[in-house]
Chains A and B, each alone.
Chain A
Amino acid sequence: DAGITQSPRHKVTETGTPVTLRCHQTENHRYMYWYRQDPGHGLRLIHYSYGVKDTDKGEVSDGYSVSRSKTEDFLLTLESATSSQTSVYFCAISGSGTAINQPQHFGDGTRLSIL
């Protein structure tokens, strides 16, 4: 299995609180991604990174921010959590070179509940 660790694995919090999810990789891969998975929607891309301090928005980026200060860590922050952000969040990585024809490797997810 690819060396990807997501933390925490489960979190319950209240509306309006800030939440930060962490993705840590040991593969030295260039690309890192945050997805959310919801019933009826499959996986949707929130943000991704193509290098240290280089990030871009995905399909559902509103209400989320990311940071990547070093190759191995990619943080996803919900500045003020809302109930619509209750979901399972997955981090993924892919190798160097062009990302186009690279498979992605996923962590085991963070189950986030916002009450």
Chain B
Amino acid sequence: SQQGEEDPQALSIQEGENATMNCSYKTSINNLQWYRQNSGRGLVHLILIRSNEREKHSGRLRVTLDTSKKSSSLLITASRAADTASYFCATTETSGSRLTFGEGTQLTVNP
């Protein structure tokens, strides 16, 4: 069963614009992670936010976590064509150690 659900499923923007993707989950978590997947490649870890954190930054990435709403958002600022990829959220539940992935958001950044 899916724990995380990303929204939107697909997003198309122009280079230089910001991209926001959302993730909702169902159960209590230890942490939430975001991954990127380029076509034909494996997933690449972007950022991990723990359940006691509300916001985290890494370069052009900003992640927020609202445990009361069981949701997270990933913001990519000043997007580039190279940001074109699928983005997945994944959660680790408090009852276990496994990651559960959502179905992903396909981001297309047009030059």
List chain A positions with a Cβ less than 8 A from chain B: 4, 35, 40-45, 48, 58-59, 90, 92, 98-101, 103-109
Contact = CB atoms under 8 A, between A and B. Distances in A.
Contacts of A107: 42
Q: 10 closest pairs, A vs B, by CB?
A: A106-B42, A103-B45, A42-B103, A43-B101, A42-B101, A106-B43, A99-B97, A108-B42, A100-B97, A100-B30
A42 B99 contact: no
B88 A58 contact: no
Question: Main SS of chain A's interface residues?
Answer: loop
B33 A103 contact: yes
B69 interface: no
Most buried by B among A4, A41, A90, A103: A103
Contact of A104 (B1, B45, B50, B103): B45
Contacts of B1: 59
Given A42-B102, A43-B101, A100-B97, A109 B42 contact: yes
Interface in B57-111: 88, 90, 92, 97-104
B11 interface: no
Given A90-B43, A107-B42, A109-B42, A100 B103 contact: no
B91 to A, nearest CB: 11
Interface in B14-71: 30-31, 33, 40-45, 48, 50
A107 to B, nearest CB: 5
